[in-house]
Structure formats: structure tokens, C-alpha cells
Amino acid sequence: MLTLREVMIMNTILNDASVTIESLAEKFNLSKRTIRYDLENIEGTLFEQKVLPSYINVMKDLNESNRLTIKAFLKSLNLSSVNLSADERYLIVKYTLILLGKLNITKLSKELHVSRMTVKNDYDTVLKELRLLGLGTKLNYKDGFKLIGEEEIIRGLQLEILNDISKSHYYNELLYSDLKRKVFKDFDFEGIDSCLYALQRELGNIFSDQSYTNLKNFISIALLRNRAGNTLPEAERLLSETDGHYELLTEVNTVIKKYYASELNSAELNELRRHILKSKYIKASDYANDYSIEIDQFVFKLIFTFSQHYGVDLSKDGELFEGLITHLRPLILNQHTLGYEQDIMEEIKSEFSNVYENVEGSLDMLDIPFAEEIIRHEVPFITVHFAAALQRNSLETQINKRILIVCSQGIGVSKLLEQRLTNYFNAEVIDVIPFHYLEHYPRIQSVDLIVTTIGIEKPPMELPAVKVNAVLTSQDLNNLEKEGIIRRNRKIELSKLVDLISPNLKTSINDELVEALKSHFGSFIVDDLSGSKQNDSRQIKKEFIQVVESVSNWEEAIRIALTPLEADNYITEKYCSEVTEAFRKNGTYMFIGEGIALPHARSNHVMQTGFSVLQLKKPVKYTDELSIKLLICFSSEDNMNHLETLISLVDHIKSASFTESLKTVNTADELADQLLSMEL
């Protein structure tokens, strides 16, 4: 029999033609002598079990037929056909008890081909661990030892273990596939998958594989525990209808009830909401659900400070702003950091050392108002976002092959891989998605090549797929070149092309010509003109500032506040409806201080960027806890055009001097004097 380690070593040999004794020793943290001993046992076992007709040196003498035969043999292995180490056997005992909620020592000892006493000793050690958590077991004649204790703790342990063994790794597949089959026997995941894909559509986001798996495991545990009669008590505080996730979670429960004739209770829905908020995204487009002007303000100032520090203007780079917001906002709001492999972090520091130092220097110059430890932890991946922005501003890269990146490690790592690909090759990265989304990806027809950080056995449409490390090793670069991706050429600045053409035209350069140049030359062009024009609509106009005595409800307040913008053709009537609906769903996220709210919506019904301000002498109630006395409404043509004015406005409004002066304001003219006197 092979040990699990020997199976892993053989699998590595089959999948890496350049493998050596030295690289195996480094990968498995073993001596070269131990590796040679394992190789001897592998070769002997393959011959003794008649996988190969004779002793063959697996490092040197395997032909294609041998490789296919060995791959089939390895795929047929299960726990009963490999030798487990003491640590591996202990994990099987521990995870079986926790995930199944019961342990039959006699039955498991037969499955593992060890004595009953061996499994009993492992069980005793597991029980000591569980008692430290307030859990225990109860002997049941039919099932053996049954896990007992606080339901919330049991589910937490189950989720932690399931998330760990669900990671896409050959070792996990070998060690835990039998156990997962027992846990989910006769369980149909179709309903949960349908539920999560609907959730992604409603959020406008695509979860990373890690977050998708976490949510999937959480829901499946809840359903299985409830089915077995192990329920959580209802939550003391129910989810409010004004909470931005109320309708989403209600829809989740509707789908679950349809498929499983069961539903999550209030405590489970509250916990599911917490997991959604902590989720990482590969792609994210909806920022309204957790809007925070303070976070936007910090990111805007970070970009501005970095630009000054580095000597390049990135303040108009919308992709940089959105990328940083998408990465940092869920971490800051939920006060947690992401776990990354240390070698990736070190590789970033080495690869982008100058950018890394400038990010740290920029942070040192800023007053970080919140979550400083979290932000400092994310410096390597903040660096990646800035490196990508600098790349967009450089004069390089002809794009030809259309690449789809399949990455399971979140937006930070995927952005790093995208940056490295476009840094080295003429490649258009058309999208970045998690593995679970691959079979549903709607634009697969436009993909030339899949680049992935995980193994994909059967790529859709038989597309070529290259497995790489997120940091792109030299071997990865060679493998990508073999797929016909050409080293990149230099790009042309659009402004220089326009300057060259202008003297030879009878008419002046217009927007239509600029768009035609961009369309024709495509990726040969770096668009350094977009966003360069200043928009005077960002200034607050006096006629857009109002003071009224009172309103009947908050909906009326929003309608009055937006009326000047609509009358002056900044927005359409449809935008008013969208803002009202967005504030109804997510209004609790749009308060920036006591009584001060920022109703807004992402919309196609905006013609200009503008601001309107409404003061209510008599505050109007939004919820039992929140009332509105000052509304700042704004419309924005994009996600950045309004920021500079908005941040200055909010800073001024939140100042002690303005708060005090507001008490004496009685007319719109007086409020306008207060607002227009500030420097925007």
C-alpha cells in the first residue's frame, strides 16, 4: 500500500515534467533521502499491484501509456486502499464525529483497517478537545457516541471543518471524499446553488470560490441539522425590513422552502447575513448596499496622496477607485482581514517594491480614521491595485489573445494575476471569475484561453487551459508562451496621437473623432484624455439649496430635495423613483451622522453630476432609531465625478462649526451662505 504522502508525490510527478528530487524535497519539506525512499516504495507498489508490468524509474522512464495507467490507478484509490499516518487517521476520527454528529468506533476501525483500540485512543483525545469547548458525547446503542452540546458551537465547528476540507486540493480529495459523501448522502445541492446564483444576481456581485463555498456549506449545515431535529433558537432581534438585505434573505428562504420544504429561522438568517457581509468577491458592481462616505473619502485621499508621492496623477482612474473600494469596504465594515499565503505577500513586496514603499509612505502621511490594523494588513494587495493603475497609465501592451482568468482566491489575488499577465504578455483579460461560475459563464464563446490557479479537468468547449501560480513563476511564463501569447509591444498615448493629427485637420478635434480613434486602434491606445476635462457642475448651486418647515414623510423629503436637479435637467423623473427605492432598501447605510443622510442610486437616468441640499426645520422619522434633518442628494455621471465635491461637502457639514451654525439657519439663503462659503 502507498501512503497518502506517496500518492501526493506520484501525482506531482505525473503533473510536472520538470520535477526533480530537490524540488520534491522542498515541496514536501522532506530530506532528499526520504524522497528517494518514498520513490522506491512507489515503484515497488506499482509493480506488486500489477499497475506496471515491471519496476520502472518513475522519475525518468515513464512513457505516456505508463502515465495514463498510473493516473487511473491513483484515481481509484480511497481511504481503505492507502496507509494513513497517525495524524491523518486522527483527523478522520475527529472530523467524522463532528461532521456526522456521531461516531461508531467499531465500524470506523474496520474502514481504516486498524484496531478498535487505535480508534478508541484517537476518540479519547478528540473528546478532551471538545470538552474545552463545552461539548461532549453521549453513548447511543445504535449509533455509537453522539455529539452533544450548544448547537451554535457545533455548527461553527462543522462549518470550519467543511470549509477546510472543501478547498480544491488533491490531498483533501483523497483524505476526505469518503467522509463528505457520508455527510451529504442523498442531499441535493441544486436548491442551494440556485439560491446562491440568484443572490449573486440581486447583489450584482460574484462571490469568490472561498466565499461561495462558505455560504453553501453554511446553508447545507443548517438544513441538515434542522432535518435531524437540531435547531437554533429564534433570534432575539429580528431583521428589520429597512435592512438592505431583508428582501434578499426573504427571497433566499423562499427558494430554500421550494426545494427542501424547510426554511431558515431568524437566527440562521441573521448569521447568513453576517456571512454575506464578510464575503469576498471576484467581481463586484453594487456599492449601494454598504455605502460609506468615510470609506470613499479615505480611498479618495489615499489615491490623491499616492499620486503626489509617486509623481503621477491617478485621481481620475475610476477602475482604481472601484477596485480599492471593492477590496477594502467589506473588510472595514465587518472588521476582519483576509488570509493570504505568505509567499504571495512576499512576492508582491519584491515584484512591486517601489509601489509598495509608496503605498506605505502614503498611508503614513494620512490620518487613518478607522480599522488601521486591517488597512495595514492589506498593504500588499493595495499595492497590486496601484500597480495595475500605473500599468494602465504606461505606454505599453498590444492586446490580442482573449484570456479568462479562473481564480478561487478573491479579488486581491486575481488582480495580482491579471496585473502579471498584462505586464508580460499581449493579452486581453476579458474577465476574472471563480471556478464555481465557469460552467455558467455567459461569454465563454469569446474566450481564447483559460488561465487558472486551480486544476480544471474538463474546460468548457475544450478550450486550452493553463494552470499557473498567482505570482507567475518562470515555468508559468514558459507554459503561457507555448500557448502562443506574444511578448507585449508599446502602446500609444491617445493625447499624442490627437496632437499629431490636429495640425493636419481643417476642423478641430471632436469627441466623435476621439471615439473613432479609440475604436479603431483598440488596445494600441492608452486613453489618457478621459476624465481630463473639469466639470463645473460639481459646484453646488445656490438655487439647489432649500429649507422647509416640515414634510409628511421621508419620501416627500427626497422628492423635494431632488426637484431642482430634475428641473434643471441633471436627472430624469425615473432617477427620483430609483433613489427613493434605494433609500427604502438601504437607507440605514446612507446616514453619515446624526440626522444627516445621503440618498443616492446608481442609475442610467443621470445627465449631469450635481448636488442638492434640503434642511428640515422639523426632522422626519426614517425608522424608530433614525430621523432626518438634512438631506444631501447627488447625481453622478460615474462613480468618481462627484467625489471631490462630496468629500469636501461632508467634511464641512460634519464640522463642529457648521453643526453649531445650522441651529440658527432659518432660510435657504442663510444655508447657502454657510455652504457656498466653503472651499470645494
Domain edge (last residue) among 222, 249, 279: 279
User: Are residues 304 and 224 located together in one domain of the fold?
Assistant: no
For residue 502, what pLDDT is reported?
72
Domain that holds residue 197: 190-279
Q: d(Cα 401, Cα 446) in Å, to the nearest integer?
A: 10
For residue 283, what pLDDT is reported?
55
For residue 45, what pLDDT is reported?
93
User: Are residues 267 and 300 located together in one domain of the fold?
Assistant: no
For residue 524, what pLDDT is reported?
57
* Average pLDDT over every residue of 207-232: 92
Q: Distance of CA 359 to CAs 336, 341, 352, 387, 413, Å?
A: 21, 20, 11, 10, 18
For residue 534, what pLDDT is reported?
40
For residue 238, what pLDDT is reported?
65
Domain edge (last residue) among 526, 548, 583: 526
In tens, the pLDDT along 330-347 reads: 777 665 555 556 667 788
User: Are residues 350 and 372 located together in one domain of the fold?
Assistant: yes
pLDDT range class, residue 394, cuts 50, 70, 90: low
199, burial (CB in 10 Å: exposed 0-12, middle 13-18, buried 19+): buried
User: Are residues 653 and 554 located together in one domain of the fold?
Assistant: yes
* 186-189 LR contacts (CB < 8 Å, sep 24+): 187/220, 187/223, 187/224, 188/259, 189/216, 189/220
In a domain, 487, yes or no: no
In a domain, 531, yes or no: no
Using the Cα atoms of residue 464, residue 468, residue 470 and residue 472 in order, give the sign of their dihedral. negative
Burial 351-388 (b: 16+ CB within 10 A, else e): bbeebbebbeebbeeeeeeebeebbebbebbbbbbbbb
β-strands 401-406, 449-452 pairing: parallel
Identify residue 94 by its one-letter amino acid code. Answer: K
For residue 506, what pLDDT is reported?
61
> What CATH number is given to the structural domain containing 57?
1.10.10
Helices assigned H by DSSP within 493-637: 494-501, 511-521, 554-567, 573-586
Residues 656/584, Cβ–Cβ less than 8 Å: no
In tens, the pLDDT along 583-617 reads: 887 787 788 778 888 888 877 888 888 889 999 99
Whether residue 556 is predicted with pLDDT greater than 50 in this model: the reply is: yes
80, burial (CB in 10 Å: exposed 0-12, middle 13-18, buried 19+): exposed
Of residues 503 and 87, the one with the higher pLDDT is: 87
Using the Cα atoms of residue 512, residue 514, residue 515 and residue 520 in order, give the sign of their dihedral. positive
User: Are residues 158 and 123 located together in one domain of the fold?
Assistant: yes
Q: d(Cα 558, Cα 598) in Å, to the nearest integer?
A: 10
> What CATH number is given to the structural domain containing 432?
3.40.50.2300
Q: Among 278-287, 598-607, 621-630, which stretch is predicted with the lowest mean pLDDT?
A: 278-287
Of residues 29 and 419, the one with the higher pLDDT is: 29
- Identity of the highest mean pLDDT range in 58-67, 201-210, 367-376, 421-430: 58-67
The strand pairing partners of 547, in sequence order, are 615
In a domain, 622, yes or no: yes
Reduce the secondary structure of 293-353 to three states and give it as a string.
Answer: HHHHHHHHHHHHHHHHHHCCCCCCCHHHHHHHHHHHHHHHHHCCCCCCCHHHHHHHHHHCH
User: Are residues 549 and 661 located together in one domain of the fold?
Assistant: yes
Of residues 318 and 537, the one with the higher pLDDT is: 318
In a domain, 220, yes or no: yes
pLDDT range class, residue 126, cuts 50, 70, 90: very high
* Average pLDDT over every residue of 103-127: 94
User: How many domains, in total, are found in the chain?
Assistant: 7
Q: d(Cα 577, Cα 591) in Å, to the nearest integer?
A: 19
Classify residue 162 by its DSSP letter. H
pLDDT range class, residue 290, cuts 50, 70, 90: very low
What mean pLDDT value characterizes the chain? 83
In a domain, 335, yes or no: yes
In tens, the pLDDT along 424-470 reads: 787 788 899 998 899 889 999 989 899 998 888 888 888 999 998 87
Distance of CA 574 to the CA centre of its chain: 32
* Average pLDDT over every residue of 14-21: 86
Residues 456/406, Cβ–Cβ less than 8 Å: yes
> What CATH number is given to the structural domain containing 546?
3.40.930.10
Residues 379/368, Cβ–Cβ less than 8 Å: no
Q: d(Cα 473, Cα 674) in Å, to the nearest integer?
A: 58
Q: C-alpha dihedral over 21, 24, 25, 29, to 10 degrees?
A: 180
For residue 297, what pLDDT is reported?
81
Domain edge (last residue) among 21, 43, 73: 73
Q: Find the helix or strand (DSSP H, E) in which 634 lies.
A: strand 627-635
For residue 583, what pLDDT is reported?
87
In a domain, 639, yes or no: yes
For residue 528, what pLDDT is reported?
56
For residue 392, what pLDDT is reported?
73
In tens, the pLDDT along 91-110 reads: 999 999 999 999 999 999 99
User: Are residues 413 and 430 located together in one domain of the fold?
Assistant: yes
User: Are residues 576 and 628 located together in one domain of the fold?
Assistant: yes
In a domain, 463, yes or no: yes
Q: Among 122-131, 178-187, 259-268, 402-411, which stretch is predicted with the lowest mean pLDDT?
A: 402-411
User: Are residues 637 and 605 located together in one domain of the fold?
Assistant: yes
In a domain, 319, yes or no: yes
Whether residue 508 is predicted with pLDDT greater than 70 in this model: the reply is: no
For residue 259, what pLDDT is reported?
92
In 3D space, the residue among 336, 209, 196 whose CA is nearest the CA of residue 278 turns out to be 336
User: Are residues 628 and 581 located together in one domain of the fold?
Assistant: yes
> What CATH number is given to the structural domain containing 232?
1.10.1790
* Average pLDDT over every residue of 658-667: 82
User: Are residues 204 and 261 located together in one domain of the fold?
Assistant: yes
Q: d(Cα 195, Cα 245) in Å, to the nearest integer?
A: 14
pLDDT range class, residue 390, cuts 50, 70, 90: confident
User: Are residues 436 and 566 located together in one domain of the fold?
Assistant: no
Q: Among 22-26, 96-100, 443-447, 670-674, which stretch is predicted with the lowest mean pLDDT?
A: 670-674
